[in-house]
């Protein structure tokens, strides 16, 4: 079971395999479930740029459990209680954006792990604790070993510390954010920005490899582009975003078949 047994994304990565997923920006459990039935390994449920301070996240995680796909939740950075809350409702992993220092990465681990690794508070009256049915010790041990903890590398400040950030015990992977990274470059020269983003990704991959960690990246839906990122060392491949897939698919058909 997703919230009791091994985390299949963690297991595949540990075995040297790559994992495939997609991003969910809608609040639809049906989309999560349908994506899971496609055979992907994870869904990245976004709560940083989509409003999720209601029951919708719980419903989407339940849909992930039904479809046997690992829900990895991107949460807001500046709320120290969100890691615990996301993990309590059953997230198979969390991602915290805008991490720029080793100290900040350590704070993420402290918030996500029970002692002795961290300082997360105990409360089994939640979905991942099976509403109190799981014994505290077993649940805490599982919670410390199976859910994934990720941070975002998305600025030049973060890149300057990327080796130290990814060396933090308890951090499993980095999601590289090309959009925010390009903003941090501070240039209007598109070619220079593109080159800087590629260098940032390359250095993040190198730091992850050195620390025996992993890199997640949004790779779109172009097969040649996906193969290129695999060759570069990206092991967690995010195949598009649900709402963008719908919009772009319909847009292409409208362009081809709308009457002039």
Q: How far is CA 177 from the centre of its chain?
A: 11
Q: How far is CA 18 from the centre of its chain?
A: 14
**Catalytic annotation on 214?**
no
Could you give the CA distance from residue 74 to residue 82 in angstroms, rounded to a whole number? 10
Q: What is the 3-state secondary structure (H, E, C) of 40-57?
A: CCEEEEECCCCCCCCCHH
Could you give the CA distance from residue 254 to residue 256 in angstroms, rounded to a whole number? 5
Q: How far is CA 105 from CA 11, 162, 208, in A?
A: 23, 10, 14
- The angle subtended at Cα 44 by Cα 167 and Cα 184, nearest 5°, is 60
Which is catalytic among the residues 49, 59, 214, 241? 49
Q: Where are the alpha helices (DSSP H) in the chain?
A: 8-14, 29-37, 56-67, 82-88, 102-112, 136-145, 156-160, 162-166, 178-185, 190-211, 223-232, 242-257
Q: How far is CA 81 from the centre of its chain?
A: 18
- State both tokens at 2: 């997703």
**Could you give the residue numbers annotated as active site?**
49
């Amino acid at each position: 079971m997703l919230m009791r047994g091994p985390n299949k994304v963690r297991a595949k990565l540990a075995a040297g395999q790559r994992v495939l997923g997609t991003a969910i920006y809608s609040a639809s459990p049906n989309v999560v479930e349908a994506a899971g039935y496609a055979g992907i390994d994870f869904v990245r449920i976004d709560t940083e740029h989509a409003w999720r301070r209601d029951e919708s996240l719980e419903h989407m995680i339940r849909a992930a459990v039904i479809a046997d796909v690992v829900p990895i939740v991107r949460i807001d950075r500046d709320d120290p209680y969100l890691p615990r809350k996301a993990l309590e409702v059953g997230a198979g992993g969390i991602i915290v954006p805008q991490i720029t220092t080793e100290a900040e990465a350590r704070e993420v681990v402290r918030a996500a792990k029970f002692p002795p690794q961290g300082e997360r508070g105990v409360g089994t009256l939640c979905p991942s604790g099976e509403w109190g049915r799981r014994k505290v010790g077993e649940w805490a041990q599982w919670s410390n070993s199976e859910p994934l903890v990720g941070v975002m590398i998305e600025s030049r400040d973060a890149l300057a510390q990327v080796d130290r950030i990814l060396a933090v015990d308890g951090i499993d992977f980095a999601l590289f954010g090309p959009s925010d990274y390009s903003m941090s470059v501070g240039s209007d020269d598109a070619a220079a920005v593109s080159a800087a983003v590629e260098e940032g990704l390359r250095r993040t991959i190198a730091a992850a490899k050195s620390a025996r960690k992993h890199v997640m990246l949004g790779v779109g839906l172009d097969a040649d582009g996906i193969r290129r990122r695999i060759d570069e060392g990206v092991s967690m491949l995010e195949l598009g975003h649900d709402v963008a897939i719908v919009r772009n698919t319909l847009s292409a058909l409208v362009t081809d078949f709308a009457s002039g």
